[in-house]
């Protein structure tokens, strides 16, 4: 579980053999020396009692000889054993051998270290982002439990066969106290300046190391001074440089203050890159579709113009009366005169015959052939036709209007329809995560840490049934479960303690709710401002989309995100209520 290989380097201390470790810890069957580094060695072994593979890390004996260090190691090992998280290697046991080696028994992970993965070749940006976000999840959980890793580096990050991160080697971990770093242990390339300078250290030191690890995944090398841009090694957005600059800033006050904030910014960059790819794909496909339709349109239009021209020309020249001659037996003597014209139009006339047959009823009135001038009048009669033509130009048939998307459909496809608004929502999500006033976890944890001891002190002198009520309350608080409603049979001391706990809990939640309302109103106002700008530019449809998004943001009860918006409109659709298209709640 370290990036050094026992075959390539000499151990920094006298590492016991597998046989010697069997004698020191007989409850484990040691199989091999897996790795070693400056702070210890790691073995693969099997826990005999449970028949499961484990990793056992030992520290050099000199650490065990220092009583203060050994006591702190034991205290921190107990704390690490509580870090039960998907992306953290579990700690099963700890202790000290008779030779003075402090040891940790941990979960064995089948896979390779991130160091090996980086050395084997470049990591695609989406995979690098996924691994970095999993690392952030692990650190966020550890930081929530007041544990600082202090030695984040690719050699301490295991990657399972299904690309799941497992953060290992909490051997240098310590509680987050903000105290001065007296012993600047760790790997210099990943250590924050305050560690190397023996300054005050907190969770921002782990954030610095995570930023260095992200840079190494994207470029294949650790950063040097001055640091080269990630764009020199891969076709990436310069925004990755901005993110890494902030994560690894020499001044802790100018870094991300919370690892969740770093995670949100990584997710935002990946989402923006995905949206850019979709936009490029749409722009490239659109001209091809138009080009494919153009030639058939020209052919059809040209054919239609020719046919209509022939028909109108024949009508206006009075040639339509010749049509009865097709049905009459012998042609008249006067008919040879127009034959040259017939010869010219004989081919088109056959094609247009179904259209020209419309005036056919007029020749059937030839049972009165006596007045030939009447026939001439029939020819003259169509003269008003040109005046009638303009009346026929307007198409009376109404065109089918395209179906308007419902507000729910607009929200579901917002990242495709309006990348600008989708980007604003993702920015809001990052701001939400970065606002410490909204996170009540630490305050509620602190309140629980005061409430549980008070409940434990109240147990003395209580009757068995009364003790059961108090023990149930302790269990619910410790396991983050909903609390029981106060009961008339509760002892008075429990009623008093619960009343005080509820009052303080409501105060914490109230402050967070007020901060959330303020931030939500500010974010909605930004979207409404965007709607006003679009309306002023004549972009009515885009303005309506912005108003819709503002209205939906105002209705959220959770942190803003595209997922939260989609779930909100989907829930409204299932309930039969259409999402609002205006942002009334923020006025």
- pLDDT tens by residue, 510-564: 998 899 999 899 999 999 999 999 999 898 888 988 999 999 999 898 889 888 8
- Please tell me the predicted confidence (pLDDT) of residue 228: 92
Residue 108, phi then psi, degrees to nearest 5 = -90, 130
Domain region containing 168? 112-272
For residue 282, being part of any structural domain is answered with no
Same structural domain, 51 and 159: no
Burial 445-456 (b: 16+ CB within 10 A, else e): eebbeebeeebe
* DSSP character string of 370-386: S-HHHHHHHHHTTTTHH
Same structural domain, 38 and 117: no
**Closest C-alpha to 169, from 193, 190, 195:** 190
Same structural domain, 103 and 130: no
| 151 in active site | yes
For residue 501, count other CB atoms closer than 10 A to its CB: 19
- Please tell me the predicted confidence (pLDDT) of residue 500: 94
Q: In whole angstroms, give the CA distance from residue 368 to residue 283.
A: 69
The pLDDT confidence band at residue 460, using thresholds 50, 70 and 90, is confident
Highest mean pLDDT among 47-56, 146-155, 462-471: 47-56
For the cut 60, the answer to whether the pLDDT of residue 341 exceeds it is: no
For residue 543, being part of any structural domain is answered with yes
For residue 380, being part of any structural domain is answered with no
For the cut 50, the answer to whether the pLDDT of residue 586 exceeds it is: no
| CATH number where 53 lies | 3.30.200.20
For residue 388, being part of any structural domain is answered with no
**Is the pLDDT higher at 152 or at 372?**
152
- Please tell me the predicted confidence (pLDDT) of residue 357: 41
For the cut 80, the answer to whether the pLDDT of residue 89 exceeds it is: yes
- Please tell me the predicted confidence (pLDDT) of residue 372: 54
- Half-sphere exposure in the Cβ direction for 540 (13 Å, CA): 0
> Rg for the chain (alpha carbons), in Å?
41
| Count of domains forming the chain | 4
Same structural domain, 151 and 167: yes
Same structural domain, 450 and 576: yes
- Please tell me the predicted confidence (pLDDT) of residue 38: 62
Same structural domain, 267 and 169: yes
Same structural domain, 261 and 181: yes
- Please tell me the predicted confidence (pLDDT) of residue 130: 93
Same structural domain, 75 and 146: no
Same structural domain, 59 and 87: yes
**Is the pLDDT higher at 191 or at 356?**
191
For residue 490, being part of any structural domain is answered with yes
For residue 413, being part of any structural domain is answered with no
- Going across the sheet that includes 165-167, the strands are 111-113, 157-160, 165-167
**Is the pLDDT higher at 274 or at 296?**
274
The pLDDT confidence band at residue 401, using thresholds 50, 70 and 90, is low
For residue 35, being part of any structural domain is answered with yes
pLDDT digits over 32-56, tens only? 998 876 668 899 999 999 999 999 9
Q: Mean pLDDT across the stretch 83-101?
A: 89
Task: Identify the burial level of 503 via C-beta atoms within 10 angstroms of its C-beta, where 0-12 means exposed, 13-18 middle and 19 or more buried.
Answer: exposed
- Please tell me the predicted confidence (pLDDT) of residue 229: 93
Same structural domain, 356 and 441: no
Please identify, among 46, 75, 108, the residue that sits at the C-terminal boundary of a domain.
Answer: 108
Report field, pTM of the whole predicted structure over 0.85: no
Highest mean pLDDT among 2-11, 201-210, 305-314, 457-466: 201-210
Q: Mean pLDDT across the stretch 151-167?
A: 90
Please identify, among 91, 108, 125, the residue that sits at the C-terminal boundary of a domain.
Answer: 108
**Which among 151, 241, 258, 418 is annotated as catalytic?**
151
Q: In whole angstroms, give the CA distance from residue 397 to residue 50.
A: 81
**Is the pLDDT higher at 382 or at 480?**
480
Q: In whole angstroms, give the CA distance from residue 564 to residue 433.
A: 14
For residue 400, being part of any structural domain is answered with no
Average pLDDT score, the chain = 77
Same structural domain, 525 and 580: yes
**Is the pLDDT higher at 461 or at 190?**
190
Please identify, among 108, 130, 151, the residue that sits at the C-terminal boundary of a domain.
Answer: 108
Q: In whole angstroms, give the CA distance from residue 565 to residue 5.
A: 49
Same structural domain, 425 and 535: yes
């Amino acid at each position: 579980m370290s990036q050094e290989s026992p075959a390539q380097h000499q151990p920094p201390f006298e590492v016991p053999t597998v046989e010697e470790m069997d004698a020191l810890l007989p409850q484990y069957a040691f199989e091999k020396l897996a790795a070693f580094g400056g702070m210890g060695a790691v073995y693969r072994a099997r826990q005999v009692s449970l028949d499961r593979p484990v990793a056992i890390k030992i520290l050099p004996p000199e650490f065990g000889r220092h009583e203060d260090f050994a006591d702190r190691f034991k205290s921190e090992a107990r704390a690490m054993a509580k870090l039960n998280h998907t992306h953290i290697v579990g700690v099963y046991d700890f202790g000290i051998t008779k030779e003075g080696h402090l040891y940790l028994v941990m979960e064995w992970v089948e896979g390779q270290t991130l160091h090996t993965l980086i050395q084997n070749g470049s990591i695609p940006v989406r995979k690098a982002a996924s691994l970095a976000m999993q690392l952030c999840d692990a650190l966020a959980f550890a930081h929530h439990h007041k544990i600082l890793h202090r030695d984040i580096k690719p050699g301490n990050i295991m990657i399972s066969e299904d690309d799941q991160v497992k953060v290992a080697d909490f051997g240098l971990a310590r509680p987050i106290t903000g105290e001065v770093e007296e012993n600047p242990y760790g790997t210099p390339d990943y250590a924050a300046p305050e560690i190397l300078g023996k300054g005050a250290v907190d969770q921002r030191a782990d954030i610095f190391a995570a930023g260095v690890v992200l840079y190494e995944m994207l470029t294949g090398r650790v950063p040097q001074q001055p640091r080269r841009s990630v764009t020199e090694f891969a076709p990436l957005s310069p925004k990755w440089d901005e993110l890494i600059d902030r994560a690894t800033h020499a001044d802790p006050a100018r870094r991300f203050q919370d690892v969740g904030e770093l995670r949100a910014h990584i997710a935002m960059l990946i989402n923006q890159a995905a949206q850019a790819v979709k936009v490029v794909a749409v722009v490239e496909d659109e001209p091809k579709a138009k080009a494919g339709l153009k030639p058939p349109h020209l052919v059809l239009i040209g054919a239609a113009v020719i046919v209509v021209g022939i028909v109108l020309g024949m009508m206006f020249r009075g040639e339509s009366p010749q049509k009865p001659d097709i049905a009459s037996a012998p042609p008249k003597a006067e008919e040879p005169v127009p034959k040259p014209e017939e010869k010219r139009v004989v081919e088109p006339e056959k094609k247009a015959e179904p259209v020209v047959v419309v005036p056919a009823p007029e020749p059937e009135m030839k049972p009165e052939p006596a007045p030939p001038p009447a026939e001439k009048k029939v020819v003259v009669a169509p003269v008003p036709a040109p005046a009638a033509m303009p009346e026929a130009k307007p198409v009376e048939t109404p065109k089918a209007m395209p179906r308007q998307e419902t507000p729910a459909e607009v929200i579901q496809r917002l990242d495709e329809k309006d990348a600008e608004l989708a980007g604003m929502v993702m920015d809001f999500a990052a701001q939400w995560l970065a606002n410490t006033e909204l996170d009540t976890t630490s305050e509620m944890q602190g309140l629980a840490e005061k409430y549980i001891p008070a409940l434990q002190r109240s147990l003395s002198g209580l009757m068995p049934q009364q003790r059961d009520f108090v023990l149930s309350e302790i269990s619910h608080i410790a396991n983050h479960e909903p609390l029981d409603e106060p009961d008339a049979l509760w002892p008075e001391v429990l009623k008093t303690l619960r009343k005080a706990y509820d009052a303080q809990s409501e105060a914490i939640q109230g402050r967070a709710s007020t901060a959330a309302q303020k931030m939500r109103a500010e974010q909605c106002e930004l979207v409404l401002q965007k709607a006003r700008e679009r309306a002023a530019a004549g972009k009515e449809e885009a303005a309506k989309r912005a108003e819709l998004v503002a209205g939906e943001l105002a209705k959220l009860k959770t942190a803003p995100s595209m997922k939260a918006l989609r779930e909100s409109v989907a829930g409204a659709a299932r309930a039969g209520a259409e999402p609002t298209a205006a942002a009334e709640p923020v006025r």
